[in-house]
Amino acid sequence: MPEPTFDDRIAATYEARWPELFDPAVIDPAVDFPAGVAGAGPALEFGVGTGRIAMPLARRGVPVHGIDLSAAMAARVPPDAGVGVTIGDFATTRVDGAFTLVYLVRNTITSLTTQDEQVACFRNAAAHLEPGGCFVIEVYVPELRRLPPGETVHPFTVTAEHLGFEEYDFAAQIAHSHHYWIVDGELETYSTPHRFVWPAELDLMARLAGLTLRERWAGWAREPFTGESRSHVSVWQKSAGGA
């Protein structure tokens, strides 16, 4: 099993480091969309983390289970939240039951740093879906067009509290995300590798897993996806025959 990148330090300060992710204006549409796809459920979240999306989805009446590699992150999900959590690699870990929805948010597919792992993730999602069920992913579109010629580093967050840069290794198809915070006058850093992936490559992974693209949007509010979109929410569906 791979090592988790979200350790005790990050888990304990996750909301403080990324407060924008917990804004109701961000949470509400990110829950509305999967709730609409899941119907009566149940739903399975790959990379459930602290339950940022799973808990409000469960409050909507959708039974939710989650898989996460980080026991430190999963420990932040209260026992009475109505969300079951299994510790494991979501590319390969199986849980009991069949689901109307498997979903994966906030670029988490890129934490799988090889193509084989990402393909395995799609196959694992398909294996958990009931016939007609859907796999939903939220992920950014690789920002290569924003790099000046000859450069390999792109800033994605620049605020007084947080600096974030992505360093691209084009041959390996890996982006290293580097974060810098000033906390109580001290510099704190955090870096993780991510395999950036294009929508067309994800569509091929879905086909290999027996899933078909049903819809693609630029965001949770179903904004049209265009050549200028910087992210996408994609829905792939398992055939009603289960093939």
Q: Long-range contacts: 64-72, Cβ < 8 Å, 24+?
A: 65/95, 65/97, 65/99, 67/93, 67/95, 69/1, 69/2, 69/4, 69/6, 70/4, 70/5, 70/6, 70/7, 70/11, 71/4, 72/4, 72/6, 72/7, 72/8, 72/10, 72/11, 72/12
Cβ-based neighbour number of residue 164 at 10 Å? 16
Residue position matching structure tokens 């849980």: 95
- Tens of pLDDT along 2-15? 555 666 677 777 76
pTM value?
0.89
Residues 6+ apart with CB under 8 A from 201: none
Helices 199-208 and 115-128 sit at what angle, rounded to 10 degrees? 50
- Tens of pLDDT along 101-133? 999 999 999 999 999 999 999 999 999 999 999
Q: What is the mean pLDDT of the chain?
A: 90
Model confidence at 242, in pLDDT bands (50, 70, 90)?
Answer: low
Residues 6+ apart with CB under 8 A from 162: 17, 179, 180, 181
Preceding amide of 42 cis, omega within 30: yes
- Tens of pLDDT along 151-209? 899 888 888 888 999 999 999 999 999 999 877 778 888 888 999 999 999 999 999 99
List Cα–Cα distances, 54 to 13, 50, 59, 78, in angstroms: 19, 9, 9, 12
Strand, helix or coil at 181?
strand
Q: Are strands 64-68 and 43-46 parallel, antiparallel or unpaired?
A: parallel
By the 8 A CB rule, do 110 and 166 touch?
Answer: no
Q: What percent of the chain has pLDDT over 70?
A: 94
Instruction: Considering only residues 225 and 186, tell me which one the structure prediction assigns the higher pLDDT.
Output: 225
Which amino acid, one-letter code, is at 87? I
